[in-house]
Amino acid sequence: MATVVQKYGGSSLADADKIKRVAERIAASRQTGCQVVAVCSAMGDTTDDLIKLAHQITPRPDPREMDLLLSTGEVVSSALVAMALNSMGHQAVSLTGVQAGIQTTTLFGKAQITGIEPKRIRKELAEGKTVIVAGFQGFTEENDVTTLGRGASDLTAVALAAALKADRCEIYTDVEGIYTADPRVVPEAVKIPDISYEEMLELAMLGAKMQPRSIELAAIYEVPVLVAHSFKDSPGTLIHREAPMETRNKVRGVACDLNVGKITVLGVPDRPGIAAAIFEPLAQAGVSVDVIVQNASVEKLTDVSFTISRTDLPRAVELVRSIAHAIGAKGTTSSSGLAKVSIVGAGIQNAPGYAARTFRALADAGVNIEMITTSEIRITCIVAEEKAKEAVRILHRAFGLESGS
Amino acid sequence: MATVVQKYGGSSLADADKIKRVAERIAASRQTGCQVVAVCSAMGDTTDDLIKLAHQITPRPDPREMDLLLSTGEVVSSALVAMALNSMGHQAVSLTGVQAGIQTTTLFGKAQITGIEPKRIRKELAEGKTVIVAGFQGFTEENDVTTLGRGASDLTAVALAAALKADRCEIYTDVEGIYTADPRVVPEAVKIPDISYEEMLELAMLGAKMQPRSIELAAIYEVPVLVAHSFKDSPGTLIHREAPMETRNKVRGVACDLNVGKITVLGVPDRPGIAAAIFEPLAQAGVSVDVIVQNASVEKLTDVSFTISRTDLPRAVELVRSIAHAIGAKGTTSSSGLAKVSIVGAGIQNAPGYAARTFRALADAGVNIEMITTSEIRITCIVAEEKAKEAVRILHRAFGLESGS
């Protein structure tokens, strides 16, 4: 019998009515003859409400207690979904992260899954039951409850699919799949029927609605992942291992990320070890640096610019000022009015012309490119925030994505 | 070092501000040099809200799922109390029923504690931490979460006190202790400084604010229980094993219970086995019968009257009608406009005059007694509901309880 792991997001479980509709969807899958394990996020804004409550107690809640607190949100929604299924005559049982055997590290708030012991899940499936699992949570060797980070119910689902050797992982959410661009920005954007793990990973890192860690895990275990709408019967987007094809060189989507801040260290003495001196303290402070550009050296002095999450900007600026002083740089500047616009597609870096077409299209439209970074399957331009949406539309058109082919 | 188990009720934990005040109280106890284990109920109306949510899903929620759902309420309040303590610089850790080692039967919704394995609690206490335990819950051999019934956080606290051989169990609530009568009914009622388990059990069964099962357990393990106000520094009422004293024959309190329904089976053929024929089916249907009165037989026919919880009345009446038909009785009548008024005190049944004084005082005030029942330490009269409060005041005065001696 085929086994399917499904995941339902919080907006699909926001009230009793939606929970009943999710239960109907699960029941319908069960009736096609496969075993179903369904992972649930917390209802609607539950997690945010619990965080608010904790912050009414103290501005810095103890991480262990915070995780135990937050884990209750997914337990509530899972129990309710199981109740709904049972009331419809479908045997179901809900399991906490502990009961589902999801073992993690002790890094409260962003624990990593170290292994899954799905004994209880297998037992319940063998008894013909549908299993509902509280997402986003696991437990340590000491039997303490952990959470896996925001959006990590996706991760729970993919990890369970891998552990159970499930045939497919289905991520149900409030969008119909992955689009060539954000339909709110580009009205002619079209749904992508299927996409590779690598391409999806780039899009996810750039703001598409899936957690990057989940896609990495799916890629490692080659779990096919379907992203589809919770309540619509449209086919969704399948993320899977694609056969490598020379002819596949093409742009799959255009992504945009507004959460970009930029810092420039001016007049840095150009000597060995200077990059380490700047970036090591940032890494130690947990600030992830994205794009780094170092200008050619003029009279042994250079400017180093880099981008980070805009949310990290205030503390990073503070840190970089003291670093600049320590290394004898002339000063620092920072800017938050930036955005990252990217085209993604397997092989585009190796195929001639994609970068050139990108830069030409933006130049023709008068969009200035501040920084450029590329990967195997991505070309990213940093542009002014107010030009970002226009840039997305320009690139979507320039690469003919509206044709959906 | 002395060990104290404290329990805080839901009204004392209703919001962030109250949670902080509870944490301060726990910290103050800790600073007197004793080890503290604090059991928390769910915040305010949380449990009722979760029940409402479940009933929006289905009128008859699966009991296993219901227990998992409801157990989250106490986990939330416990984590918040632990956060508050940690933020005040007092090391604290909150434990779920599973983590606290509270083993139970599998009777979801009203599971019974079969044992406590307090290994984790002892470890945390040994490390100098205050331990917060989610009340009202435990787990089965299969690792499923159970709940112990409404008001059972008291039971969690007493059971933990017994398992840890704690020096005392302190029940903190929104009243200052146990009174000689409900102060809303009898303004001159006074707080009882100390009372025996048996007397408290009778008062609890009659509506005083403590769960009868908890008092039974405290009596078995001889756990001294203090009932006091969460936020006031008044001494409260100590429930403990009192030295038997002949002179102790006196009334300790007057209780009143409005949740009384009465059924009479008329013209019952007076032959052996007739009581069993009536009460066995009621017991099987889970209806607890309280007072039973059988009139003297007239021409081999008798009337049998009994009281039950008013909430059980509709289904009991239905059941008794068919029984009456089966045994050839003439008919049934029922009434819900009744109340139970009781005086409680060790030895009053064996001491002369208490019953007579009770009946005389009520008769002088024109209160008609419909039924009478007594125990070793209690005399109960069933009276019309509209006379109940007056009867309480009369008896409170008749036995001189306002003097507080």
Structure tokens at A43: 């209802």
Which of helix, strand or coil describes residue B335? strand
| Interface contact A57-B96, CB threshold 8 A | no
Task: Give the separation between CA B25 and CA B90, rounded to whole angstroms.
Answer: 12
| Interface contact B143-A76, CB threshold 8 A | no
Q: Which residue of B has its CA nearest to A81?
A: B57
Task: Give the separation between CA B226 and CA B214, rounded to whole angstroms.
Answer: 12
Best interface-test mutation with A: which of B46, B64, B69 has the largest number of A CBs within 10 A? B69
Task: Give the separation between CA A350 and CA B259, rounded to whole angstroms.
Answer: 82
Best interface-test mutation with B: which of A40, A47, A68, A90 has the largest number of B CBs within 10 A? A68
pLDDT at position A126, please?
96
Q: How many CB atoms lie within 10 A of CB B141?
A: 10
Residue B405 pLDDT > 60, yes or no?
Answer: no
Q: How far apart are the first and last CA of chain A?
A: 35
| Interface contact B68-A19, CB threshold 8 A | no
C-beta of residue B153 within 8 angstroms of C-beta of residue B217: no
Identify the weakest region by mean pLDDT among A248-262, B353-367, B386-400: A248-262
Q: What is the CATH number assigned to the segment(s) B3-174?
A: 3.40.1160.10
Best interface-test mutation with B: which of A20, A72, A133, A142 has the largest number of B CBs within 10 A? A72
Interface confidence, given as ipTM, is 0.81
pLDDT in tens, B167-222: 999 999 988 899 998 888 899 999 989 899 988 888 876 655 777 889 999 999 99
Structure tokens at A106: 């002790």
Q: To the nearest whole angstrom, how far is the Cα of B64 from the nearest Cα of chain A? A: 8
pLDDT at position B247, please?
47
Give the residue ranges of chain A where pLDDT is below 50.
246-247
Provide the percentage of residues in chain B whose pLDDT is more than 70.
Answer: 95
pLDDT at position A245, please?
54
Q: Where are the domains of chain B?
A: 3-174, 253-403
| Interface contact A76-B65, CB threshold 8 A | no
Angle between helices B63-87 and B16-31 (to 10 degrees): 60
C-beta of residue A262 within 8 angstroms of C-beta of residue A382: yes
pLDDT in tens, B110-163: 899 999 999 999 999 999 999 999 999 999 999 999 999 888 999 999 999 999
pLDDT at position A19, please?
98
Distance, CA of B312 to chain centre: 18
**Does residue B79 or residue B191 have the better pLDDT?**
B79
| Interface contact B75-A69, CB threshold 8 A | yes
**Domain B253-403, architecture per CATH:** 2-Layer Sandwich (3.30)
* Residues of chain B found within 8 Å of residue A87, distances taken between Cβ atoms: 57-58, 60-62
C-beta of residue B197 within 8 angstroms of C-beta of residue B219: yes
pTM for this model (two decimals): 0.83
Structure tokens at A360: 């030409």
Task: Give the separation between CA A125 and CA A119, rounded to whole angstroms.
Answer: 10
Angle between helices A197-205 and A212-221 (to 10 degrees): 170
pLDDT at position B7, please?
97
Provide the percentage of residues in chain A whose pLDDT is more than 90.
Answer: 62
pLDDT at position A295, please?
75
A58 touches chain B (CB under 8 A): yes
pLDDT in tens, B31-78: 999 999 999 999 999 999 999 999 999 999 999 999 999 999 999 999
| Interface contact A87-B61, CB threshold 8 A | yes
pLDDT at position A404, please?
61
Q: Which residue of B has its CA nearest to A132?
A: B65
Provide the percentage of residues in chain B whose pLDDT is more than 90.
Answer: 62
Q: Which of B15, B64, B83 sits opposite A61 (nearest CB)?
A: B83
Structure tokens at B226: 């203090």
pLDDT in tens, B276-302: 888 888 888 888 888 888 777 777 888
| Interface contact B62-A54, CB threshold 8 A | no
